[in-house]
Amino acid sequence: MNQNTPQRRRERIDRGIKVRCQGIYSLMSWREMTYITAPRAALIAGLLALPLVMPGMYWQRVISIVCIYALLAVGFDFLAHFVGLVSLGGAFFVGVGGYLAAILNTAWALPPIATIPAATVIGATLCTLLLLPCLPLRGVYFAIVTLMYPLFLARVIEALDILGGTDGIMGIDGFGGRWTEQYAVIGMLLIVLFAVRRLVNTDIGLVLRGVKDNDQAIRASGMNVTRYKALAVFITAAMGCMSGAFLVHIYMWSGISQFALDFSILPIAATVIGGGGTLAGPVIGCLILVPVSELLRDFGTLRIVFYALILVAFIVFRSEGIMVYAQRKYHQFERWTQV
Amino acid sequence: MLEAEGLMVFYENMLALNNVAIRCAENQVVGVFGANSAGKSTLMYTLSGIMEDIRRKAQMAGGERITVMGRITYRGQDITNFKPSRRARLGIVLCPERRRIFKESSVLENLRIGAYLASAAQARETIEYVFDIFPALKKLKKRIGGFLSGGEQQMLAIGRALMAQPKILLLDEPLLGLSPLMQAELVRATRQIRDEMHISIIVTEQYARPVMPIVDYAFILENGAAVMDGRREELMDNPDVRSAYFGVQE
């Protein structure tokens, strides 16, 4: 450029403490230990404290629902950003897991502590088997199939009048106390969140990210792509089925509304708002979206209008997502430099 | 005709182009040579305005911040802040690296898409011309783009760029991954385009030898900086350039 008009640009620099925290020596300083653990501790403490600060039963119930959606959203984020499969199957997983837990509970009188793990494993296996045919393909097939199954299953239950038909299955055991219910869901969410975070950094996670980037290269390396995809779908389905099982025990009722598209769409919106590929972002997205949609109930039919406006505004003005933005601000600072 | 001065492009804090000045006169073929990561593609994206698009997408996704500085003038008009579509309307057309043809459309459809800016008569005329300089394409008219060989795809990419009625054509590594025979064919076509359509051409390449015969003036990029420039003969006489970009051992 012409030398007499100096130009400036904003540059982003990693904070000194972030760089210092990258080595093992960060364990030797309290400041750096705090820097590493503070965000995680804040999330854990925040979630654990939520039931205590909520004003009443109603809002405590909302927190449980937030966690259910958060489980689904973490699953969606995992599948979309680490495996490259866009899943619209939240409703499918919730429905399968929910009905399984309901059947196990009413037919064999198993307590929730047994039905939830059983529904998780059996449901995830079922979902994976049903989705297996479309796994070798790339593209929209997976999204479409996962979208079709819940519609299909709901209509089957309605038309054949099985599993309680349109009335659903009633008389399911609850958790026997709202505190147990709250902390069971929150604890599960935290475990799942940190487990998935771990998983994506292991060797399997590496392969899965490779599948997202270039599945032909993974095939050429001698790995069975479909098997890895099935594994990822199993993990996601397990999370979804578990949230479904929790849901029926919270509501003490299982019905075809568990196949409602809300369970597919809201996790995606939460991932967009929270920041895709961060795993913690979708949880934060759910913490915002679910209460907002409850608050908007006062507006009646206009609820959806406001809800949509908030979503669109987010995508226009902060499309990167809250978590990506926050991470950047936490790790980096900006300053003007002379070019 | 097209002139850029003080071009600086930062990918976050990495300097991809450092104070690059480049110019291309009417009816001239200008070569830009450099190794991988020298900044050739960045330069082409910046000249064609695609960089602005890349910058906005990276910003939306929360990725790295791209900063572009400098001034680009085209026929005396400052086009630094013009969008890529507006630059294409002025006649600055990019034929991107790795061809980027529409893989699911046929050859003819690919050419028609490129003719968005042309009138119907111009389009008909240019299609004839493209088939004239690339006879191989004529036989493959109905073939789907994705099934063409690398060389045919490159011909198609150049043809598609021609359909936009360029005044200046930016060819980004047109010879990438092609056989020497195909390279010679494309170089011949490039010369023909310049001679017959009077289009100025900026061509980037890693290895200068195949395109040097048609280049009037050349710039050499190293690590984002234009370290040397000169007419063909001047560069050919420089022993360093000869060994680095022509593979001539002295």
Q: What is the DSSP string of A282-303?
A: HHHHHHHHHHHHHHGGGGGGGH
Which residue in chain A is spatially nearest to B69 when comparing CA positions?
Answer: A1
pLDDT at residue A14, as a whole number: 87
Domain edges within chain A: 43-260
Q: Distance from A236 to chain B by nearest Cα, in Å?
A: 25
Asked if residue B97 lies in contact with residue B172, where contact means CB atoms within 8 angstroms, the answer is yes
Q: Is A319's CB within 8 Å of B61's CB?
A: yes
Closest by Cα among A86, A43, A143 to A271: A86
pLDDT at residue B166, as a whole number: 94
Which residue in chain B is spatially nearest to A2 when comparing CA positions?
Answer: B6
Q: Average pLDDT per run of 10 along chain A, which is 339 residues long?
A: 61 86 82 88 91 84 92 94 89 92 88 90 94 84 89 86 78 80 92 94 91 89 91 94 92 84 88 89 92 84 83 84 88 86
Neighbours of B238 (CB within 10 A): 15
Asked if residue B87 lies in contact with residue B48, where contact means CB atoms within 8 angstroms, the answer is yes
Mutate to test the interface with B, among A4, A7, A312, A316 (most CBs of B within 10 A): A7
User: Which of A320, A328, A339 is nearest residue B60 as measured by Cβ atoms?
Assistant: A320
pLDDT at residue B186, as a whole number: 94
What b/e string do you get for B96-108 counting C-beta neighbours within 10 Å, with b at 16 or more? bbebebeeeebbb
pLDDT at residue A194, as a whole number: 94
Domain edges within chain B: 2-92+168-245
pTM confidence score: 0.87
ipTM above 0.90, yes or no: no
Q: What is the crossing angle of helices A280-295 and A303-317, to 10°?
A: 150
**Does 3.30.10.20 match the CATH number of domain B2-92+168-245?**
no
- Contacts of residue A89, defined as CB under 8 A and 6 or more positions apart, other chains included, come to A127, A131, A146, A147, A149, A150, A237, A240, A264
Which residue in chain B is spatially nearest to A335 when comparing CA positions?
Answer: B13
Residue by residue, pLDDT tens for chain B (250 residues) are 899 999 999 998 889 999 999 999 999 999 999 988 899 999 999 999 999 999 998 888 877 889 999 999 999 999 999 999 999 999 999 999 988 999 999 999 999 999 999 999 999 999 999 999 999 999 999 999 999 999 999 999 999 999 999 999 999 999 988 999 999 999 999 999 999 999 999 999 998 889 999 999 999 999 999 999 999 888 888 888 888 887 776 6
Q: What is the crossing angle of helices A141-160 and A112-131, to 10°?
A: 120
The beta-strand segments (E) located in A158-299 are: 169-170, 253-254
Within 8 A of B69 by CB-CB distance, chain A residues are 1, 7, 9, 339
Rounded CA-CA distance B193/B185 in Å is 12
Asked if residue A117 lies in contact with residue A97, where contact means CB atoms within 8 angstroms, the answer is no
CB of B77 within 8 Å of a chain A CB? The answer is no
Which residue in chain B is spatially nearest to A277 when comparing CA positions?
Answer: B61
Neighbours of A300 (CB within 10 A): 8
pLDDT at residue B249, as a whole number: 66
Instruction: Give the burial class of A282: count Cβ atoms within 10 A of its Cβ; 0-12 exposed, 13-18 middle, 19 or more buried.
Output: buried
Q: Distance from A323 to chain B by nearest Cα, in Å?
A: 10
